Structure formats: structure tokens, C-alpha cells
């Protein structure tokens, strides 16, 4: 990313190849040589490495955006979406909060697709690839710097002012209350005076020596803080003196991460104050300077120095107390409805420390899982993110052909990110083993705006890889681990690291190769139990995930890597396209049938022989009446057996709780496809590519149409090379491809020099796909109301320029059978 030139070239003008290893610096003498190299690489995969050929082709077939070029331009040049702005207008009018919605990529994908399992307990229930995150920023708490405290009028003054106090836990801070002239208010009615949080109930022991120099984090207080409103989860007692660390690890973290229903409590009249449970008073030792001053003041007076004189009382905003107030009071009583949640969903909401799980409902009455995350806004934490801003080992890739330098994120991007605010979330700090003193005082730093910024600057191939990983997580890991194991936030962080490692090596047409490498790198993190946070590298995102869940995810990904085609096929089959203006759905059932069932004339001959053998067992009678009677009896018995079979199947379906997936994950591609299966497989993908190209023209994605037509052309050449008898099939496809290419030429493209949009940085650098803003296709050049039939057995809603309205070759491709032509006789060589 961060290239010297922000304009990318079309495929015909950029002779760059992408080998299996992702080498993008191979030079070629001409465009024709470039296309020949691409065809040769595809043919080698098809003949010698069909597993990776299938994976690359399947991933290339799935679409998540109507027109990625237009969508990413809109996301790239906008900091907030329209729904977020509309929501904040409501929240600022009725509540003392505002909202940040960072997942604009997921929101855009949700317009077109849903994740819908075809088997299992959630069969046919629409879901999203990842929950929608809503960071609710509580504006009544303001973070001020350590130098000056802002002065406000009595009208706009925030209720609470705090300073950030760094914790010895990386990625966490404490909120120290500083308004000594106005002690914290209780949640009492106006007629009652404000209450100060209760003093500690115990007296600290007498110090024997000079109090130690305080560090950035206060030492463990000797005072006992006020009893929390709810008791934190404790591990199950062990019968032995020393409890098993693994048992402690499992029970403590499991209870914390198990979503629990809300315990709704009514809010008092005062909505602008926090209850006493949100505050935590601690006794902390005074500094050496303060200690010396006290001794000097009392030496001459012979006044006995009390123990309390060596300690200060510090008030913190308690993370657990604030979370309880938010989830049990503010959200169910008023905030939830203002955010668009209905009563039913609010009543069914559950929570863990730092998150509330609640569903929205879209315009099609489908649930949209959401994570409502309470937070407090803070400035960019320079001290904790210094390594991120000045990361020395951040890779830099140079294109030897043109001298372009790729680095992600660029220096300009880092400067923009540093100007963004962050938030702290009241999650507390919990580890897998050992007890954490004052865990409820810790607020976790989160970067929703920076994450949104980086996601909008990922390439199309990177975004697709991210979404494919979420589909694998949703299919094979999440049903077993839920909130206790690997989560979308871990996948997002891992993708940021992968983009930074080499932003340029993400070929669109070989995404299967790349995603295998990405999964292997993720497995390395799982095996070590360490995933560094992208913004705060010293923070481990796996610190509170029990080992058993990390090992389960590692095992699942290892199995997927060993045989990716079937595992990806099952996961991708659960991606359901909304009917209508989106792309035609991919028939993965047909692909599975092609791979696992016999193809070609041999299969037909086997079926004929099978019928003949059955008929040969029938009895023959000389008496015509007896023969008729016998044949009728056979028909009657067949009908009776059929009814019995149907009844048994119906009973089995009733007794079966979960449907059984028909895809055999143990199926192995052995690289020994015969000519007929090879033909069927190539025709399957060629027709899909032509269908996607046709839909792309309808959706004004002209450059994408060219890309898929080129992929169809490569496979047509391979089909022709496999056997001379397939030459006629290849000619039909080439004619259809040519007609669509002519149609794409007739579509008006925005003038490169006249485009008034600023160039996007970083550059979209797929060698096969031009993502530049200058190549955007205007949708008003296509009549979307008219429809013509095209390939793939489904209707294509498009009408091109009148000169190319008749698609005779495309229509012939549509009617082409996968089975060989009847006019051709195949002779198997012995």
C-alpha cells in the first residue's frame, strides 16, 4: 500500500504474473506472454494440484459486494456512515451518550448476503458472519490531561472528570476521579444531598519505614474496597489443598465469559449521576516529598504523626460497577429502545463484562446479532501505542519493475490514525491463572475508529480473505466454543498483521494459496497461545482464553489445511445471497456432484447395464394373460415397497433432531480426473465466471467483468488442450466471452482525467483487478429494468447497448449440457 503512484493499470496493460508463491516481480516481454504464463500456471494446478485449483476457483466464485470499486470508494472517503449519524442524532437528543459503529465493511456485506446453515440445530436460520459492534460512549465522564482542568459553565459541565492512570497491565488504564471540590454524586433524588462514596472500612498498618516511591500504578491497597453489588465468579472448590491450575483456569474464565441475563433495576429521577457502586475508594501511600513535608511540619510541634497521614484516599471509577449500572439500568430502561432494540430483544439480552448481546431486526425481519459495548472516550494513548507508531520491523516491499514501494500502514495513514480518539471499555482485567488484585478497576483500551479506518484501506482480496475466515469460524469453531474461544476480534487483528507483513502479495485469482498461508500463521499463534494486539503489541489477546479452546481451534484449522476443498465447500455453501439485484448464487451442490459422482458416457453405460440386469431377472410366460398378471403384480409390489420406504424416511426425519450434512469431509482429491470429469469441472467454472461477468456488467462493475471474462478465457483454453474432442465446447465459450467483451466495451466508463474524486491511498494492488477510483463504472449506462437470459441456468437481469442486445452465443452456453455431446462417440483406450 503506500505506493509512489496511486493509479493502477488494467490487466491488459500490466504484464505481471502471480505464481503459487506470490512472486509478483516476474518480467514478461508482452501481454500475450503474460496471459500464456497465467494459463500455464492454471493448467499445471488443474492437472497436478487439483486441491489448490478447486480452492482458488471456489473462492473466486463467491461475491460479497455488488460493486466493490464503488463501495470501497464510499467507505474510503467517509468516516461515519449514514445510519451512525442518524442514530447519534437520536441518542444525543434523548440520552447522554453517542455511538460509534466501526464495522462498516460487515454492514455493507449484510446488505447482500447472510450466513445460513443448511444443516444442524440452526438450519435455515439467517445470521451474519460477525456481530455488529456498537460502542456506546458515555459523555458524562470526561478524561482531562494532567496539566489543566477545563472550566465549564454550570450548564455544559460534565458530571465527572477523571485522569488516566496507567496500569501495569498493557492495554489497560484506570480512571482516577479528580474533582475534589465536587465529590462524586450518588444516584439519589434531587431533594437528598449528594453522597460521597463510603470510606474504606479498615485502617492500613503503620509503616515501619519511609513509604516507598509510588510507581505509575498504585500498590495493592491495604484497605478493603466497598463490597461490590454482585460477587465475582469464583472457581469451583477443589478437594486438594492446591487446586488444579487447569480447573481454576476453566471455571474462572468460563463463568466470566458465559453470557448471563440482565438483572433489570429501575433508574432514579437523577439520570445524570452514577450510583455509589460505580466508585471505588482506595488508600495509597503518599510520595517521599509529601512524607518529608509532614515530618518537617510536626517535628517542632511534637505532634504524633498518625498512620492515616502517610496515605491518600483516591477515588476510581469502578469498571464492574459501571458495567452493572449500564447493563442493568441504563440499557434496559431507556437506552436500548433509543438504539432501536425492541422490548422482546431487550428482555432476551445477555451480557458478559464489557459487552451486551442483543439482536436488532432488519427490514426483512431477520435478526442482526449486536454487541453493545459501553465505553468512555479518551485521547490517543501515545505512551501505550509508541511501538505501533514507530514500529521498526514493519516490512517494506519494493516492486523491482517500477520502483513502487509498498508499506502498510503508510506514514500518512499513521498520522491520520494518531488524530483519532479511542475508548476504554469496563471489562476489568482477568487472567487464566492466578488471582488479579483490583481487577475491577481496570478499563480496557479499544480502537474502534482506527479499526474502521484500516478495514476501509484493505484490498478486495484481503477483505475476502477476512470474510472467508469468519465463515470458517462460524462453521467449524464457534458452534463448539461460543464466547469462550476464538472470536471475530481475533480474526480481525490477525488480518491486520497479515496485511502489514506484505500488503502487495494478495493475488485475487490465487487467493486459495494465500489463505492457506494466513491460516497456518494463525495456527502458529494458537499453538503458542499468544496473539499480540495490533496497536499495543505487548498485550496478548489470548491471555484469558483457556488452553482447551485454543487447542480446539488449532485442531480444526489443521484439518482444514490438510484437505481444504471439502471444508471450504461446506462453509461457502452456507453463504446465502439475497435474491433480486445481487449476483446469481453459486450451485455448490452441483460442484460436489461433479467431484464425487462418475461423469461421461461410462456412467450412462453403467446405468443402462444396471437396468438391463434387472429386466433379465424378470420371468417370461408363454401365456399372455399370465405375463400381464405377473407384470401387474410386480408394479403393485413396487408401489407398496415405495410407500413403505417413504414412510420410513418420514419417521426418520421426525426422529432426527439435526439434519446430516451430505458433504463428505473425508473425500480426497487424488489428481486423477478422467477426461469427462475434467470437462464437467472446467465447464462448471467457466459458466460461473461468465455469469459473474454478466452480473458485473449489470451492476456497473465493468473492470470486474473483464477480469472474470479473462478467467473464463483461460479455462476455455485449458478445456481445448485436454482433448481435441472438446474443441467445439471451447469454441462455444470463446464466442460467448467475445460477445460479453464487446458489451463491456460499449459500457461508458468514467474519464480518467475528469474524475473529480481524490485518488485512493493505499493503492489496490491486485495484478488482476483494477480497483482505482478512476475506473468506476457509472450505473446509469445500463438499463437495469430489462432482462435477458444468460448462462448458468438462471435469469440475468441486464440489457446492454442495442448493438449487442442479442446474446446468441451466451444463450447457447446456457443450454450446454455438462454431459458430452450426443453427436460425439468416445472410445476409451485400454
Q: Judging by DSSP bridges, how do beta strands 795-796 and 422-425 pair with one another?
A: unpaired
CA-atom Rg of the chain in angstroms: 33
Cell (9 digits) for 231:
460477587
Q: How far apart are CA 744 and CA 701, in angstroms?
A: 9
Residue 5 near residue 390 (C-beta atoms within 8 A): no
Q: How far apart are CA 450 and CA 422, in angstroms?
A: 8
Ranking 237-246, 356-365, 716-725, 762-771 by mean pLDDT, the lowest is 762-771
CA angle (132, 464, 26) in 5-degree steps: 155
Provide the terminal-to-terminal Cα distance of the chain, rounded to the nearest Å.
Answer: 55
CB-based contacts of 548, cutoff 8 Å, min separation 6? 250
CB-based contacts of 588, cutoff 8 Å, min separation 6? 58, 569, 572, 573
CA dihedral for 573, 576, 577, 580, sign (positive or negative): positive
Average pLDDT (336-365) is: 92
Q: How far apart are CA 710 and CA 662, in angstroms?
A: 33
Residue 6 near residue 771 (C-beta atoms within 8 A): no
Q: How confident is the model at residue 122 (pLDDT cuts 50, 70, 90)?
A: confident
Residue 700 near residue 67 (C-beta atoms within 8 A): yes
DSSP-derived secondary structure for 691-722: HHHHHHHHTT-HHHHHHHHHHHHHHHHHHHHH
Decide: residue 235, CB within 10 A, 0-12 exposed, 13-18 middle, 19+ buried: middle
Give Cα 127 distance to the centre of its chain: 13
Buried b / exposed e across 80-108, counting CB within 10 Å, b at 16+?
bbeebeebbeebeeebbbbbbbbbbbbbb
Ranking 14-28, 643-657, 676-690 by mean pLDDT, the lowest is 14-28
For position 16, what pLDDT does the model report?
Answer: 31
**What H or E segment, with its residue span, contains residue 445?**
strand 443-446
**What H or E segment, with its residue span, contains residue 667?**
none
pLDDT, tens digit, 9 for 90 and up, residues 258-274 = 999 999 988 765 666 88
Q: Where are the alpha helices (DSSP H) in 597-701?
A: 601-616, 624-655, 675-698
For position 815, what pLDDT does the model report?
Answer: 54
DSSP-derived secondary structure for 409-430: S-HHHHHHHHTS-EEEE-----
Q: How far apart are CA 403 and CA 393, in angstroms?
A: 21
pLDDT, tens digit, 9 for 90 and up, residues 705-764 = 999 999 999 999 999 998 888 888 899 999 999 999 888 887 644 434 334 434 444 443
Whole-number average pLDDT of the chain:
75
Overall pTM surpassing 0.85 (yes/no)? no
Q: How far apart are CA 601 and CA 816, in angstroms?
A: 16
pLDDT, tens digit, 9 for 90 and up, residues 361-417 = 887 788 899 999 999 999 999 999 999 999 988 988 887 777 788 889 999 999 999
Give how far Cα 508 sits from Cα of 60, 461, 463, 769, Å.
7, 5, 11, 7
Average pLDDT (199-204) is: 40
CB-based contacts of 546, cutoff 8 Å, min separation 6? 249, 250, 253, 254, 432, 484
pLDDT, tens digit, 9 for 90 and up, residues 551-586 = 999 999 999 999 899 999 999 999 999 887 889 999
Amino acid at each position: 500500500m503506500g505506493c509512489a503512484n496511486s493509479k493502477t493499470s488494467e490487466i491488459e496493460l500490466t504484464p505481471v504474473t502471480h505464481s503459487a508463491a506470490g512472486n509478483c516481480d516476474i518480467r514478461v516481454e508482452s501481454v500475450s506472454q503474460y496471459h500464456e504464463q497465467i494459463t500455464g500456471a492454471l493448467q499445471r494446478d488443474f492437472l497436478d494440484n487439483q486441491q489448490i485449483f478447486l480452492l482458488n476457483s471456489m473462492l473466486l466464485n463467491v461475491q460479497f459486494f455488488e460493486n466493490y470499486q464503488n463501495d470501497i470508494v464510499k467507505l474510503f472517503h467517509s468516516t461515519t456512515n449514514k445510519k451512525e449519524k442518524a442514530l447519534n442524532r437520536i441518542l444525543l437528543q434523548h440520552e447522554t451518550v453517542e455511538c460509534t459503529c466501526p464495522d462498516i465493511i460487515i454492514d455493507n456485506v449484510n446488505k447482500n448476503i447472510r450466513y445460513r446453515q443448511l444443516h444442524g440445530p440452526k438450519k435455515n436460520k439467517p445470521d451474519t458472519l460477525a456481530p455488529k459492534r456498537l460502542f456506546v460512549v458515555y459523555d458524562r465522564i470526561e478524561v482531562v490531561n494532567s496539566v489543566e482542568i477545563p472550566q465549564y459553565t454550570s450548564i455544559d459541565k460534565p458530571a465527572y472528570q477523571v485522569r488516566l492512570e496507567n496500569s501495569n497491565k498493557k492495554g489497560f488504564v484506570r480512571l482516577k476521579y479528580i474533582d475534589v471540590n465536587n465529590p462524586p454524586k450518588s444516584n439519589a433524588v434531587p431533594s437528598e444531598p449528594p453522597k460521597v462514596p463510603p470510606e474504606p472500612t479498615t485502617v492500613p498498618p503503620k509503616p515501619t519505614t519511609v513509604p516507598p516511591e509510588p510507581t505509575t500504578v498504585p500498590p495493592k491497597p491495604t484497605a478493603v474496597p466497598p463490597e461490590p453489588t454482585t460477587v465475582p465468579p469464583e472457581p469451583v472448590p477443589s478437594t486438594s489443598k492446591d487446586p488444579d491450575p487447569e480447573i481454576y483456569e476453566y471455571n474462572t474464565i468460563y463463568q466470566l465469559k458465559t453470557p448471563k441475563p440482565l438483572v433489570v433495576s429501575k433508574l432514579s429521577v437523577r439520570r445524570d449521576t452514577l450510583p455509589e457502586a460505580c466508585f471505588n475508594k482506595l488508600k495509597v501511600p503518599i510520595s517521599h516529598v509529601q512524607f518529608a513535608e509532614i515530618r518537617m511540619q510536626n517535628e517542632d510541634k511534637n505532634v504524633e504523626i498518625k498512620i492515616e497521614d502517610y496515605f491518600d484516599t483516591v477515588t476510581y471509577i469502578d469498571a464492574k460497577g459501571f458495567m452493572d449500572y449500564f447493563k442493568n439500568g441504563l440499557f434496559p430502561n431507556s437506552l436500548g429502545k433509543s438504539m432501536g432494540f425492541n422490548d422482546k430483544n431487550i428482555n432476551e439480552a445477555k451480557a458478559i463484562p464489557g459487552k451486551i448481546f442483543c439482536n436488532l431486526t432488519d427490514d426483512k425481519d431477520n435478526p442482526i446479532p449486536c454487541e453493545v459495548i459501553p465505553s468512555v472516550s479518551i485521547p490517543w494513548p501515545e505512551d501505550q501505542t509508541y511501538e505501533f507508531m514507530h514500529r521498526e520491523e514493519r516490512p517494506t516491499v519494493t516492486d523491482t519493475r517500477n520502483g513502487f514501494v509498498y508499506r502498510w500502514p503508510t506514514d500518512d495513514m499513521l498520522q491520520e490514525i494518531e488524530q483519532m480518539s479511542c475508548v476504554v471499555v469496563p471489562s476489568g482485567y482477568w487472567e487464566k491463572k492466578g488471582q488479579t488484585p483490583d481487577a475491577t478497576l481496570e478499563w480496557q483500551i479499544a480502537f474502534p475508529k482506527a479499526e474502521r479506518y484500516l478495514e476501509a484501506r484493505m484490498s478486495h482480496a484481503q477483505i475476502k480473505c477476512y470474510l472467508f475466515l469468519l465463515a470458517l469460524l462460524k462453521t467449524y469453531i464457534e458452534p463448539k466454543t461460543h464466547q469462550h474461544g476464538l472470536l471475530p476480534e481475533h480474526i480481525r487483528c490477525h488480518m491486520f498483521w497479515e496485511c502489514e507483513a506484505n500488503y502487495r502479495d494478495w493475488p485475487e485469482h490465487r487467493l486459495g494459496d494465500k489463505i492457506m498461508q494466513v491460516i497456518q500463521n494463525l495456527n502458529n499463534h494458537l499453538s503458542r497461545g499468544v496473539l499480540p494486539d495490533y496497536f499495543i503489541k505487548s498485550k496478548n489477546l489470548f491471555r484469558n482464553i483457556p488452553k482447551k479452546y485454543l487447542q480446539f481451534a488449532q485442531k480444526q484449522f489443521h484439518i482444514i489445511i490438510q484437505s481444504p476443498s471439502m471444508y471450504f465447500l461446506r462453509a461457502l455453501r452456507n453463504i446465502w445471497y439475497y435474491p433480486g439485484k445481487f449476483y446469481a448464487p453459486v450451485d455448490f451442490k452441483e460442484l460436489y456432484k461433479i467431484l464425487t459422482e462418475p461423469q461421461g458416457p461410462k456412467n450412462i453405460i453403467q446405468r443402462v447395464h444396471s437396468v438391463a440386469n434387472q429386466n433379465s431377472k424378470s420371468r417370461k410366460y408363454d401365456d399372455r394373460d399370465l405375463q400381464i398378471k405377473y407384470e401387474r403384480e410386480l408394479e403393485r409390489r413396487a408401489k407398496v415397497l415405495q410407500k413403505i420406504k417413504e414412510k420410513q424416511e418420514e419417521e426418520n426425519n421426525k426422529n432426527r433432531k439435526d439434519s446430516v450434512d451430505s458433504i463428505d469431509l473425508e473425500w480426497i482429491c487424488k489428481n486423477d480426473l478422467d477426461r469427462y470429469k475434467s470437462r464437467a469441472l472446467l465447464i462448471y467454472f467457466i459458466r460461473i465466471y461468465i455469469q459473474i461477468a454478466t452480473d458485473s456488467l449489470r451492476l456497473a462493475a465493468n473492470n470486474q467483468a473483464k477480469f472474470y471474462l479473462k478467467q473464463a478465457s483461460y479455462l476455455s483454453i485449458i478445456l481445448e488442450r485436454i482433448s481435441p474432442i472438446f474443441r467445439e465446447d471451447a469454441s462455444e465459450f470463446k464466442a460467448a466471452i467475445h460477445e460479453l467483451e464487446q458489451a463491456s466495451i460499449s459500457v461508458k466508463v468514467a474519464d480518467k482525467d475528469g474524475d473529480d474524486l481524490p485518488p485512493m491511498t493505499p493503492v489496490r494492488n491486485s495484478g488482476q483487478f483494477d480497483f482505482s477510483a478512476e475506473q468506476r463504472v457509472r450505473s446509469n449506462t445500463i438499463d437495469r429494468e430489462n432482462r435477458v437470459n444468460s448462462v448458468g441456468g438462471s435469469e440475468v437481469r441486464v440489457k446492454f447497448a442495442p448493438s449487442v442486445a442479442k446474446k446468441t452465443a451466451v444463450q447457447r452456453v446456457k443450454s450446454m449440457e455438462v454431459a458430452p455431446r450426443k453427436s460425439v462417440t468416445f472410445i476409451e483406450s485400454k
